[in-house]
Amino acid sequence: MPDINPTPKSAEDFVSSFAYPISYIERLPKPSHNYVSDFFELTRLRTSEKNLSDLSASQLSDLLWYAAKVIDTHYQDNGYILSHRPSPSAGARHPIDLLIINPSENPVFQYYNPFEHSLNNLKLNEDLFTDFVTHINDNIPVGKGTVIWLIAHVNRTSAKYDNPASLVWRDAGALLQILQMTATAMNLGSCPFGTLADPFINKLFADAAIISCGGIIIGNNLQL
Ligand X SMILES: Cc1cc2nc3c(=O)[nH]c(=O)nc-3n(C[C@H](O)[C@H](O)[C@H](O)COP(=O)(O)O)c2cc1C
Report the interface residues with ligand X, using CB under 6 A: 47-48, 50, 139-140, 191-194
Structural contact between residues 207 and 223, judged by C-beta atoms closer than 8 angstroms? no
**Using an 8 Å Cβ cutoff, are 98 and 117 in contact?**
no
Residue ranges in 12-153 assigned as alpha helix (H): 39-45, 57-68, 126-139
Q: How far is the CB of 170 from ligand X (least distance, A)?
A: 12
- d(CA 217, CA 155) in angstroms, rounded, equals 27
SS3 assignment for 101-113: EECCCEEEEEEEE
Q: Residue 195 Cβ, how far from ligand X at the closest point, in Å?
A: 6
Minimum Å gap between C-beta 46 and ligand X is 7
Between 121 and 189, CB nearer to ligand X: 189
Task: Please identify, using beta-carbon distances, which residue of 31 and 192 lies nearer to ligand X.
Answer: 192
Residue nearest to ligand X (CB): 194
Cβ closest to ligand X, residue 43 vs residue 163: 43
| Nearest approach, Cβ of residue 176 and ligand X (Å) | 6
- Cα–Cα distances (Å) from 162 to 10, 22, 29, 77, 82, in that order, read 10, 32, 39, 21, 18
Shorter beta-carbon distance to ligand X: residue 51 or 53: 51
Nearer to ligand X, 15 or 183 (CB): 183
Shortest spacing between CB 191 and ligand X, in angstroms: 5
Residues 6+ apart with CB under 8 A from 218: 52, 55, 63, 145, 146, 147, 148, 179, 183, 188, 189, 190
